[in-house]
Amino acid sequence: MKRNLLLTPGPTQLPARICQVLGEPIIHHRTPQFQGVLKEVTEGLQYVFQTKNDVLILTSSGTGGMEAAVSNFLSPHDQVIVLEGGKFGERWTELCQMYGIKAHVIKVPWGKAGAVSDIKKILGAQKEIKALFVTLVETSTGVTTDVRAIGEALSGTNVILVVDAISGLGAVELRTDEWNVDVVVAGSQKGLMLPPGLAFVSVSPKAWALAEKSTCPKYYFHLKAAKKAAQKTDTPFTPAIGIIMALNESLLLIKNEGIEKLWARYARLAQGTRAAARAMGLSLYADPACASHAVTAIQVPSGIDGEKLTKIMRDTYGVTIAGGQEELKGKIVRICQMGCVDEFDILTGIACLEKVLHEMGHQFTLGSGLAAAQKIYNQK
Ligand SMILES: *Cc1c(COP(=O)(O)O)cnc(C)c1O
């Protein structure tokens, strides 16, 4: 079979060990065997989240966790702030609107980072704000938000900080407790190297206090029910048993490497991708001050159709990278450094990008991107 290299922002590639576990016969979830795994994965998740808070496991894609983070802590007519710098920031706004919550939206230009001063301005004028929603890695633009600075700005207030870390967790630095983050949402199919199907939500005591007053409707994504079950090492409904078994392996891989080493590894991979793009005469989309290590957004040269570029890479050569979304459709491509990706995967992606750009008429020296990335990867 032809190669199928995924350099996409979810799903990401599965390590061989994870594929093995996924191929094993299923076990029943109301058993001491599964309870043992549930206990281990919860501790493992706390390590990856860098938190002592509860981390709850939901059976859904990441967006289910986002919905839970809106419906469980708020009530209709509550006021919140959304830092919106791309497609996933917009999802927070849409979810809030769906539950009748008033969102003060800070529109951040795509490719740029939001300013803490804008948040402080709204907090100064609106005393009733209950929550602030941000996106750790805005996957649509390749920007990492400075969650640490935002957490600092909120400390000592009654506002809870809710972070969509679906594409950031396990790829870029996130210190939930140290940075004063109340709710973190993640998913299984990105940095955690698993198939889609699980969402994770960590909840601080401050957020649990707010949950007591929440009147938004919820049934499947009821975090208090999930917590009650978790206290008995159980889940309220049938969980995605197979993915939880595989999660135990992926958390072990992360723990064995060490979270800080892992953050550094992806930073280095991203540095190589960026150097390659520049050497090929391509511009990077995100402001260098906030360019993410998890997703590198590269502008497609004018006159070349980015949609066609990614299609040829995938269908002819078996290398999948992501195109642009919405207004960036056809204008950018995104190469992802998260999950089970090493420097040779990135070099393969760059080689393929070079080949197809060359075929499509972009003028540059073939091999220049590869040489630039190799130079970074070969630094001691
Ligand atoms: C992928 C992604 C999501 C959506 O997750 P689903 O699993 O598709 O529901 C949300 N936010 C960000 C930042 C993402 O990258």
- Residues 287 and 305: their CA atoms lie apart, in Å, by 23
Ligand 1 atom nearest residue 199's Cα: 7
Question: What ligand 1 atom has the least distance to the C-alpha of 61?
Answer: 7
CA 61 to ligand 1 center in whole angstroms: 8
CB of 168 closer than 6 angstroms to any ligand 1 atom:
no
Alpha-carbon span 355 to 223, nearest angstrom:
49
Which among 136, 143, 164 is the best mutation to test ligand 1's pocket, defined by most ligand atoms within 8 Å of the CB?
164
Q: Tell me the C-alpha distance between 336 and 352, whole Å.
A: 14
Do the Cβ atoms of 321 and 8 come closer than 8 Å? yes
262 — pLDDT class (breaks 50, 70, 90): very high
Average pLDDT of span 61-88: 98
pTM: 0.98
Over the chain, what is the mean pLDDT?
97
What's the distance, CA 160 to chain centroid?
Answer: 20
* Segment 325-364, tens digit of pLDDT: 999 999 999 999 999 999 999 999 999 999 999 999 999 9
Residue 340, pLDDT score: 95
Q: Confidence band (pLDDT; 50, 70, 90) for 3?
A: confident
Residue 2's pLDDT band (boundaries 50, 70, 90)? confident
- C-alpha dihedral over 348, 349, 350, 352, to 10 degrees? 80
Q: Which atom of ligand 1 is found nearest the CA of 10?
A: 1
Regarding the beta carbon of 142 and ligand 1, being less than 6 Å apart is answered no
Which two three-digit tokens encode residue 212?
Answer: 């007591």
d(CA 152, CA 134): 14
Cα 63 to averaged position of ligand 1 atoms, centre (Å): 6
123 burial type by CB count under 10 A (0-12 exposed, 13-18 middle, 19+ buried): middle
Strands (E) in the chain, as ranges, are 5-7, 54-59, 79-84, 102-107, 129-135, 137-138, 143-144, 160-164, 183-187, 198-203, 295-299, 319-321, 332-336
Q: Are 68 and 186 in contact (CB under 8 A)?
A: no
* Ligand 1 neighbourhood includes 10 CB (under 6 angstroms): yes
Cα of 225 vs centre of ligand 1, distance in Å, is 24
**What is the average pLDDT across 212-223?**
98
Q: What is the mean pLDDT of residues 4-11?
A: 96
Distance from the CA of 62 to the center of ligand 1, in angstroms? 5
Please indicate whether residue 58 or residue 168 has the higher confidence score (pLDDT).
58
Residue 64 alpha carbon, nearest atom of ligand 1: 9
Q: Count of residues for the chain?
A: 380
High-pLDDT (> 90) share of the chain, %: 99
Q: How many angstroms is it from 301 CA to the middle of ligand 1?
A: 27
pLDDT tens-digit readout, 268-316: 999 999 999 999 999 999 999 999 999 999 999 999 999 999 999 999 9
Question: Which among 150, 77, 158, 156 has a CA at the least distance from the CA of 120?
Answer: 150
Q: List, for residues 14-41, the tens digit of each pLDDT value.
A: 999 999 999 999 999 999 999 999 999 9
Task: Report the pLDDT value the prediction gives residue 380, as an integer from 0 to 100.
Answer: 83
Among protein residues, the one whose CA lies closest to atom 15 of ligand 1? 167
pLDDT digits (tens, 9 = 90+) for 359-380: 999 999 999 999 999 999 999 8
Q: Is 61 in the pocket of ligand 1 (CB under 6 A)?
A: yes
325: Cβ below 6 Å to ligand 1? no
Q: Indicate which residue's Cα is closest to atom 6 of ligand 1.
A: 62
Mean pLDDT calculated for residue range 198-220: 98
Identify the sign of the CA torsion 195, 354, 327, 122: positive
Mean pLDDT over 134-139 rounds to 98
CA torsion angle for 352, 354, 357, 358 (degrees, to 10)? -120
> 82-118, pLDDT tens digit by residue?
999 999 999 999 999 999 999 999 999 999 999 999 9
Domains for the chain: give ranges and CATH numbers. Answer: 5-10+258-377 (3.90.1150.10), 16-256 (3.40.640.10)
Structure confidence at residue 1 (pLDDT): 55
Confidence of residue 146 (pLDDT cuts 50, 70, 90): very high
